[in-house]
Structure 1
Amino acid sequence: MLQFETEDGTLGVELTKLTVAGWTGRDLAAVQHHVEELAAIGVPRPSTTPLFYRVSPALATQAPEIAVLGDETSGEVEPLLVRSGGVLWIGLASDHTDRGLEAHSVAHSKQICAKPVSGKLWRYDHVADRLDSLQLRCWIEEDGARKAYQDGTLANILPLATLLEKAPLADGEAMVCGTLAAIGGVRPAARYEMELADSELGTLGLSYAVKTLPVVS
């Protein structure tokens, strides 16, 4: 059971379905260029774009630390959509993914890592008229220093309404909606700090540490 703070009080949600939307860039030419770049290093091309990956709802976590296997995983700041009690909510999530496993299967790479989610949600209809202006930011801890990792607005990804049309949410379901390019490239980090900022409602925050487990054989 996930517990969220909202303007209406505490909201408990037991997720029955979790979807991770991929290849959601609004610039379709840039998306195709990225597909070709990844294909050149062995990452399978998506069957369509955007693509909606189903992962276990149990992967969603509000723990302050996640454990990952090996040193090839990394997080991404993304908007989170949750439907509960007939209301659509927006929050923040990290699509933590095993980058090494991506070359075998993107779907497998997403299923193997926990998906941290924020402890607070806003009503979607309270920001629906200005979604493109919402700011996504992420900082990482790297070599003991805090560094800017991602920074942009939701105007860089497909409209959330479009994603909902393609992958509707029923009560108890959630979707992680896509991300921004990483400053300096995608890479592992010891800690992630993220925020979703709105000019009227302020910010939603999410932070978590990463514990790397050894790969043994």
Structure 2
Amino acid sequence: MLRFTLPDGTEAETPVHTLLNAGYAGRSQDDVAAHVKELAELGVPAPKVTPALYPVAPYLAMQTDSVPAQHARTSGEAEWALVVTPSDVLLTAACDHTDRALEVHGVAWSKNAGPDVLARRAWRLSDVADRLDALRLTAHVDGALIQDGTLAELLAPAYWLDELRARGLATPGTVLLSGTIPMDPAVDQFGTHWQVTLTDPATDAVIDLAYDVRLLPEPTE
């Protein structure tokens, strides 16, 4: 069950039955190519089709302050998320925490090896629909700015809502993450504290989330 506080103080909630992660979803093909190159440096093969859409186990949609990891090569990705509730479509901040060691063997596998962390507050999509491209998305890892861009860099929510409708998935309980913006390669992504912020410059309203990465104990083998 996901629960969100809306700007008017009311709450919206929905159980999650479908969780989808968009990938290689930049509106600019230059940005998409840069992201493919960034992943290729980590050994991730180029996708056959862009944009991609990865189904993820619904229980991995979480509102949490702590993410367990099996090893030190996991990292987040700043994204926005659409959440379809019984009464509305919400927009919120999210962080797709991905297993980079597993990613070289399969992106879909890596997406299912870590949670999609969502903020605890959200906006009604209709309330910000006239200025979506101006919304700013940032990520910090261990205090260092690693991602900074606007929603204009990514395929628009309307694009993904059309995709959901075409697939019969625009129903309460569906959550879709947007795909991410480029990372600063000079910043070490393998940190222990992630923070993602979605800002509306028109109102200075902010939706944010933060979590610590917690290494699990070593397995006995």
Q: What residue number does 1:213 align with?
A: 216
Residue 47 of structure 2 aligns to a residue in which SS? Answer: coil
Q: What residue number does 1:165 align with?
A: 162
Is the counterpart of residue 103 in structure 1 residue 95 in structure 2? no
Q: What residue number does 1:133 align with?
A: 134
Report how many residues are paired. Answer: 213
Classify 1:36/1:203 alpha carbon distance in 2 versus 1 (closer, same or farther; 3 Å).
closer
What do residues 161-202 of structure 1 show as CA deviations (whole Å, max 9, x unaligned)? 112222342111110111111122562111111111012260
TM-score (norm 2): 0.89
Q: Tell me if structure 2 keeps the 8 A contact 1:70–1:214.
A: no
Is the counterpart of residue 23 in structure 1 residue 24 in structure 2? yes
Q: What residue number does 2:195 align with?
A: 193
Distance, in Å, in 2 between the alignment partners of 1:63 and 1:38 is: 26
Distance, in Å, in 2 between the alignment partners of 1:186 and 1:35 is: 18
Classify 1:62/1:38 alpha carbon distance in 2 versus 1 (closer, same or farther; 3 Å).
closer
Displacement of 1:148 after TM fit?
Answer: 1.1
Classify 1:186/1:174 alpha carbon distance in 2 versus 1 (closer, same or farther; 3 Å).
farther
What do residues 68-110 of structure 1 show as CA deviations (whole Å, max 9, x unaligned)? 1101100111101001114111001101001111110000000
What do residues 100-136 of structure 1 show as CA deviations (whole Å, max 9, x unaligned)? 1111000000001011110011000111111000001
Q: What residue number does 2:2 align with?
A: 2
Distance, in Å, in 1 between the alignment partners of 2:218 and 2:212 is: 19
Classify 1:197/1:16 alpha carbon distance in 2 versus 1 (closer, same or farther; 3 Å).
same
Distance, in Å, in 2 between the alignment partners of 1:186 and 1:172 is: 35
Q: CA RMSD in A?
A: 1.8
Displacement of 1:44 after TM fit?
Answer: 2.6
Displacement of 1:42 after TM fit?
Answer: 3.5
Q: What residue number does 2:57 align with?
A: 56
- Which piece of structure 1 moves more, 76-85 or 34-43? 34-43
TM-score (norm 1): 0.91
**Amino acid aligned to 2:4:** F
Q: What residue number does 2:90 align with?
A: 89
Classify 1:212/1:34 alpha carbon distance in 2 versus 1 (closer, same or farther; 3 Å).
same
Displacement of 1:29 after TM fit?
Answer: 3.4
Distance, in Å, in 2 between the alignment partners of 1:157 and 1:46 is: 17
Percent pairwise identity? 35
Q: Tell me if structure 1 keeps the 8 A contact 2:14–2:86.
A: no
Classify 1:116/1:30 alpha carbon distance in 2 versus 1 (closer, same or farther; 3 Å).
closer
Q: Tell me if structure 2 keeps the 8 A contact 1:19–1:55.
A: yes
Distance, in Å, in 2 between the alignment partners of 1:104 and 1:123 is: 37
**Amino acid aligned to 1:197:** T
Q: Tell me if structure 2 keeps the 8 A contact 1:136–1:154.
A: yes
Residue 120 of structure 1 aligns to a residue in which SS? Answer: coil
Q: Which structure carries more strand by proportion?
A: 1
Classify 1:167/1:211 alpha carbon distance in 2 versus 1 (closer, same or farther; 3 Å).
same
Displacement of 1:8 after TM fit?
Answer: 5.8
Is the counterpart of residue 181 in structure 1 residue 178 in structure 2? no
- Which piece of structure 1 moves more, 194-203 or 74-83? 194-203
**Amino acid aligned to 1:154:** L
- 5+ residue gaps, structure 1, are none
